[in-house]
Amino acid sequence: MATPTRLASAAALIAHPARAAMLQALMAGEALTAGELARTAGIAPSTASAHLAALAGGALVVAHAQGRHRWFRLANDDVAAILESLMGLAELARPARRWPHGEALRTARTCWDHLAGRLGVALRQGLVERGMLRPALGGWEATAAGHAWLERTGVDVAAARRARRFACDCMDWSERRPHLGGGLARALCTLCLARGWLRRQPGEGLARRAVVPTPEGVRRLREAFGVRVEAAAGQAASD
Amino acid sequence: MATPTRLASAAALIAHPARAAMLQALMAGEALTAGELARTAGIAPSTASAHLAALAGGALVVAHAQGRHRWFRLANDDVAAILESLMGLAELARPARRWPHGEALRTARTCWDHLAGRLGVALRQGLVERGMLRPALGGWEATAAGHAWLERTGVDVAAARRARRFACDCMDWSERRPHLGGGLARALCTLCLARGWLRRQPGEGLARRAVVPTPEGVRRLREAFGVRVEAAAGQAASD
DNA sequence: GTGTCGTTTTGTCCCCGGGCGCAGCATCCG
DNA sequence: CGGATGCTGCGCCCGGGGACAAAACGACAC
């Protein structure tokens, strides 16, 4: 009876609406304070504190005290992958005929530390079609042309190579097709945000995951990656 | 608030000890009746029936009525993959210093429809090292030599190719290294069981997942795949 | 030092999810 | 056709998990 119980308790950490809301917010990739997470989940700070202690105990999040704040973030990308696949499972169980989460989220969002949604899927497709990536053991590696081109574009390829995985497929929960994960995808996401091509949404909770392309971003993404995105038009998720 | 709730309800299906026990039993890959699952989970048939209805509603399992029995099995390999990764998460949270689930389970077991444990990991390593497989888009493909050799060994390669994925890595929860999943892995598992090289454990629950090599199996696995396994020595998991 | 802010601990209350037994229904057996 | 078997729906009961308020604690600012 040992293992089923452990399986159950691992899932139980995610199974609570308030904890799920916090985890969703953390899926944006940034660290958040206990107070922010409490507000996001719509519960009292004391309640949130107990939940966060449970999540930390289950190795789903890690805490980092700084001054009178405590910053929480997801423990690692494995946790993010599990959350995404569970989202996919939920979607599969009740395929919504109407997408209820706001168009912005579907257009472009972050998945832990990389890009997802239509943008993420298109990005992967663009890189592969242009011969920048080729299949490798358990994922993708850069071709010679791809490596040169990435460096020229300003991607920190060296940092990407230090990651556990350079580039791998990560199933997109809304598009049902893979987008790119791993060190390269992280570097790309960082680049787009640093250059101001994409901007994070100010909202809370799930809406926090959405990113919207700036006018310059629309142009650059088309030029650099051959990705067609619309400028910020969709409404943010109502959370 | 829509999506966090859905994430939570998807996880909640797994979060219950009784349901988790049933899912674990189904991870052996065979279909089981409602009564068997009730006994496995140690609950009354009526309770089990309610749980199974919930699992079916959540698209985690599928039911198939035949006579006065109802056979349940996991809905698909995505579900199996999610369950395995949650097991890994649980293991990560509380790394047991002593493996509490019985040696047999760790030596060789099934993971949905393919082989896992030390045997599964060694099998993958053997095939790769001997040049039978090479990396491909999102997994592995057979080399020319590999194809010929697999057919000669009696593996139903044609059936394996019809699967959604021919061969891909599947993280092994106990070994923390990948074993082989996909159509090829399924065919290999089928072969080993059909030829009597491996025999399923008679137990219930988690123990059901264990497979033990017969004396002939030990020899054949070494000859055919270069895999060293011990004959049935470990005790079955106490469940 | 004193006030404020963010977080956690403690205590208390309340609600609902899950347990079983029983009855009902379908199926197979002789 | 009657009895045994397998599964499910209904009703009732119980226990524990999670909610908040209040208070304690530590850190920062002035």
B120 in any annotated domain:
yes
Q: What is the pLDDT of residue A200?
A: 92
DSSP string, A186-214: HHHHHHHHHTTSEEE----GGGGGBEEE-
pLDDT for B237: 39
| Cross-strand partners of B213 | B198
For residues B24 and B209, the answer to whether their CB atoms sit within 8 Å is yes
Place of tokens 């493909």: B141
Q: Where are the alpha helices (DSSP H) in chain B?
A: 2-15, 17-26, 34-41, 45-57, 77-93, 103-107, 117-129, 144-153, 157-162, 183-194, 215-225
Residues A155, A68, single domain; the answer is no
Residue B83 in any domain: the answer is no
> Å between A80 CA and C15 C1'?
32
Give the total residue count for chain A. Answer: 239
pLDDT, residue A3, reads 77
Q: What is the mean pLDDT of chain A?
A: 90
Ordered DSSP codes for A57-121: HTTSEEEEEETTEEEEEES-HHHHHHHHHHHHHHHHHS--SS--S-HHHHHSEEETTEEEHHHHH
A97 close to B (CB below 8 A): no
Residue A142 lies in a domain: yes
Residue B201's pLDDT is what? Answer: 86
Mean pLDDT of chain B: 90
Mean predicted confidence (pLDDT) in A85-109: 85
Do the strands A168-171 and A178-181 form a parallel or antiparallel pair, or are they unpaired? Answer: antiparallel
Beta bridge partners, B139, equal: B136
Residue A110 has pLDDT above 90, yes or no: yes
Domain endpoint, select from A75, A108, A128 = A75
Spanning CA of A68 to C1' of D30, the rounded length in angstroms is 17
State the average pLDDT over residues A101-125: 93
Share of chain A above pLDDT 90, in %: 74
Domain membership flag for residue B163: yes
Q: Could you tell me if B37 and B116 lie in one domain? A: no
Half-sphere exposure of B98 (CA within 13 A, CB side): 3
pLDDT attached to residue A96: 72
Paired with B198 in beta bridges are B213
Q: Reply yes or no on whether the pLDDT at A236 is more than 60.
A: no
CA distances from A188 to A127, A138, A158, B158 (A): 11, 20, 12, 39
Chain D nucleotides with an atom closer than 7 Å to a protein C-beta = 5-10, 18-23, 26-28
Q: Is the pLDDT of residue B28 over 90?
A: yes
Residue with tokens 């599969």, as numbered in its chain: A92
List all residues 6 or more positions away from B223 whose beta carbon is below 8 Å from its beta carbon: none
A102 and A220 together in one domain: yes
Domain assignment present for residue A238? The answer is no
- Which among B17, B59, B91 has the least Cβ separation from residue A8? B17
pLDDT digits (tens, 9 = 90+) for A121-134: 999 999 999 999 99
How far is A101 from A105, CA to CA, in rounded Å? 7
Amino acid present at A117: G
Q: Which CATH number is B45's domain given?
A: 1.10.10.10
Q: Could you tell me if B110 and B219 lie in one domain?
A: yes
pLDDT digits (tens, 9 = 90+) for A131-140: 999 988 778 9
Q: What is the C-alpha separation between B174 and B153, in angstroms, rounded? A: 28
A70 & A92 share domain: no
Indicate if B57 and B169 belong to the same structural domain. Answer: no
Instruction: Determine contact: B82 vs chain A, CB below 8 A.
Output: yes
Of the pLDDT bands very low, low, confident and very high (cuts 50, 70, 90), residue B231 is low
How confident is the model over A204-224, as a mean pLDDT?
Answer: 90
Q: Under a CB-based contact definition with an 8 Å cutoff, are residues B30 and B204 in contact? A: no
Specify if A80 maps to a domain. no
Give the burial class of B144: count Cβ atoms within 10 A of its Cβ; 0-12 exposed, 13-18 middle, 19 or more buried. Answer: exposed
pLDDT at A231: 64
Whether residue B22 is found in the same domain as residue B119: no
The DSSP call for residue B68 is: T
The reply to whether residue B86 touches residue A11, judged by beta carbons under 8 angstroms, is yes
B63 and B112 both lie in a single domain = no
3-state secondary structure at position A179 = strand
Q: In the structure, what pLDDT confidence band is assigned to residue A66 with cuts at 50, 70 and 90?
A: very high
Q: Is the pLDDT of residue A64 over 80?
A: yes
Give me the residues near strand D, CB below 7 A.
A 12, 16-18, 43-44, 46-47, 50-51, 66-68; B 33-35, 38, 45-46, 48-50, 52-53, 63, 68-70
Q: Report residue A179's pLDDT band, with 50, 70 and 90 as the boundaries.
A: very high
What single string gives the DSSP state of each residue in B89-104? HHHHHS--SS-TT-HH
User: What phi and psi, each to the nearest 5 degrees, are found at residue B180?
Assistant: -95, 135
Q: Does residue B63 surpass a pLDDT of 60?
A: yes
| Domain annotation covers residue A234 | no
Q: How many CB pairs under 8 A join A and B?
A: 162
Looking at the DSSP bridge assignments, the partners of residue A178 are A171
Q: Is residue A125 part of a domain?
A: yes
The residue ranking higher by pLDDT, B67 or A136, is B67
Q: Residue B236: its pLDDT value, please?
A: 40
- With H, G, I as helix, E, B as strand and everything else as coil, classify residue B15: helix
Whether A183 and A122 map to the same domain: the answer is yes
- Amino acid, res. A161: R
Cβ pair B82, B43 in contact under 8 A: no
The full DSSP string for B163-199 is SS-SBEEEE-TTTSSEEEESHHHHHHHHHHHHTTSEE
Query: Among B99-103, B169-173, B195-199, which stretch is predicted with the lowest mean pLDDT?
Result: B99-103
Domain boundary among A75, A96, A117: A75
Q: How confident is the model at residue A120 (pLDDT cuts 50, 70, 90)?
A: very high
C-alpha–C-alpha distance, residues B185 and B169, integer Å: 10
**Average pLDDT, stretch B106-135?**
93
Same domain, yes or no: A110 and A55:
no
Pair (A65, A106) in one structural domain: no
* Res A205 pLDDT > 90: no
Query: Poorest-confidence range of A89-98, A225-234, B47-56?
Result: A225-234
pLDDT above 90 (res B228): no
Domain-terminating residue out of A75, A100, A126: A75
d(CA B105, CA A183): 34
Structure tokens at A110: 């972050």
Which domain does A96 fall in, by range? 88-225
A98 pLDDT band, cuts 50/70/90, is confident
Q: For chain B, how many structural domains are there in total? A: 2
Banded model confidence at residue B137, pLDDT cuts 50, 70, 90: confident
Query: Is there a single domain that holds both residue B147 and residue B30?
Result: no
pLDDT digits (tens, 9 = 90+) for B146-161: 999 999 999 999 999 9
